[in-house]
C-alpha cells in the first residue's frame, strides 16, 4: 500500500502476525442460514465473477462476484503490496483459495463431518459441522453483515484500507460477533490459506510467476543440488525458481 494510505506492510504484520480493492455488493441484508448457503453452493458450483486483478473470469470456479471482491480485499489487507514484494491479490492468492474451495479440500474430503459437534479446545483444531467451502460462504456473508452494522452499511471490500486492518484486528482479537460462525475460526482458516497461497507452487494458482519465491530467494521445486554445491559454496545461490510443472 502507498504511504498516503496510512497502512504499511509492517503495520499489518505487527497487528495480524503475518507477512487495492475491488468494489463489491453491499451486504445490508441478514446473512443466509447455513442451510441456505449449502443450497447456494449446490446450485452454483461453478460461479464465475467478473475479471478481478487482471484475471480471466473463468479462473474463478467457486466464488460469486461479490464473494471474490471480498476475498481480494481480505488477502490484500493481510499481505499488502509494497516495495518488498507483491500483495496477496497480485500474487494470485484469491485464485489459489478459489481452486482449493472448488476441489476436494473445499468439500471436506478428508474431514469427519458426521458429529456429534461440541465446543472443542484450540488443540483439537477445526470443530464446525461445515466444509471449508461452506465456512467461507457463510463467513463472508457474516463478515459483510458485521461490517455493514459497524461501518454504515459497507461491505468489507468497500471499507478504507485502514478500516479493513482495524476490522481484521477486531476479528482476530475476538471482538467481532458473527451471526452464524465463530469469527476467529473464519479468520484462522483465511489466514492459513492466504499464507499457503502466497508461498505455493505457481501451478496451484498462487505465487504468480514465482514472484514470491524470487522475493525470498527460494529456488522452488528443484530436487537436487549436488552439482551446484562447490560452485556456490559460501555464495548466494541465485537461480530462476522452478515450479513442479517446469520439471515435468
Q: How far apart are CA 94 and CA 91, in angstroms?
A: 9
* DSSP code for 176: -
Sorted by where each begins, the domain ranges of the chain are: 3-216, 219-248
Q: How far apart are CA 113 and CA 128, in angstroms?
A: 8
**Buried/exposed 17-33: b ≥16 CB within 10 Å, e otherwise:** eebbbbebebbeeebbe
Counts of helices then strands in the chain (DSSP H, E): 9, 0
Reading the block at residue 102, the C-alpha cell is 472448488
Contact 98, 68 (CB under 8 A): yes
Query: Cα 238 to the chain's mean position, in Å?
Result: 29
Q: Which residue do the cell numbers 484486528 mark?
A: 169
Q: How far apart are CA 214 and CA 217, in angstroms?
A: 5
Q: What is the pLDDT of residue 198?
A: 97
Q: How far apart are CA 10 and CA 7, in angstroms?
A: 8
Backbone dihedral angles phi then psi of residue 220, each to the nearest 5 degrees: 90, -140
**Rounded to two decimals, what is the model's pTM?**
0.75
Contact 159, 10 (CB under 8 A): no
Q: What is the pLDDT of residue 160?
A: 96
Secondary structure (3-state) at 220: strand
pLDDT means over runs of 10, the chain (248 residues): 44 41 31 46 38 54 95 97 94 96 92 79 83 96 97 96 97 94 95 97 94 92 79 84 88
**Buried/exposed 204-229: b ≥16 CB within 10 Å, e otherwise:** bbbbbebbbbbbeebbbbeeeeeeee
Reading the block at residue 112, the C-alpha cell is 469427519
Amino acid at each position: 500500500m502507498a504511504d498516503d494510505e496510512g497502512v504499511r506492510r509492517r503495520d499489518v504484520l505487527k497487528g495480524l502476525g503475518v507477512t487495492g480493492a475491488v468494489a463489491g455488493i453491499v451486504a445490508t441484508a441478514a446473512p443466509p442460514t447455513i442451510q441456505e448457503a449449502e443450497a447456494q453452493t449446490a446450485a452454483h458450483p461453478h460461479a464465475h465473477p467478473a475479471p478481478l486483478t487482471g484475471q480471466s473470469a473463468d479462473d474463478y470456479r467457486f466464488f460469486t462476484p461479490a464473494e471474490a471482491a471480498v476475498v481480494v480485499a481480505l488477502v490484500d489487507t493481510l499481505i499488502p503490496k509494497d516495495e518488498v514484494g507483491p500483495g496477496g491479490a497480485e500474487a494470485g492468492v484469491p485464485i489459489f483459495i478459489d481452486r482449493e474451495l472448488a476441489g476436494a479440500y473445499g468439500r471436506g474430503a478428508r474431514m469427519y463431518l458426521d458429529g456429534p459437534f461440541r465446543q472443542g479446545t484450540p488443540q483439537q483444531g477445526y470443530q464446525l459441522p461445515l466444509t471449508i467451502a461452506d465456512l467461507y460462504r457463510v463467513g463472508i456473508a457474516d463478515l459483510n453483515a458485521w461490517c455493514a452494522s459497524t461501518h454504515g452499511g459497507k461491505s468489507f471490500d468497500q471499507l478504507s484500507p485502514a478500516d479493513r486492518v482495524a476490522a481484521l484486528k477486531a476479528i482476530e482479537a475476538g471482538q467481532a460477533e458473527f451471526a452464524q460462525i465463530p469469527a476467529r475460526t473464519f479468520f484462522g482458516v483465511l489466514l492459513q490459506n492466504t499464507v499457503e497461497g502466497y508461498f505455493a507452487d505457481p501451478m496451484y494458482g498462487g505465487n504468480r510467476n514465482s514472484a514470491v519465491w524470487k522475493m525470498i530467494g527460494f529456488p522452488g521445486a528443484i530436487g537436487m543440488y549436488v552439482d551446484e554445491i562447490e560452485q556456490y559454496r559460501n555464495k548466494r545461490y541465485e537461480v530462476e525458481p522452478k515450479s513442479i510443472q517446469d520439471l515435468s
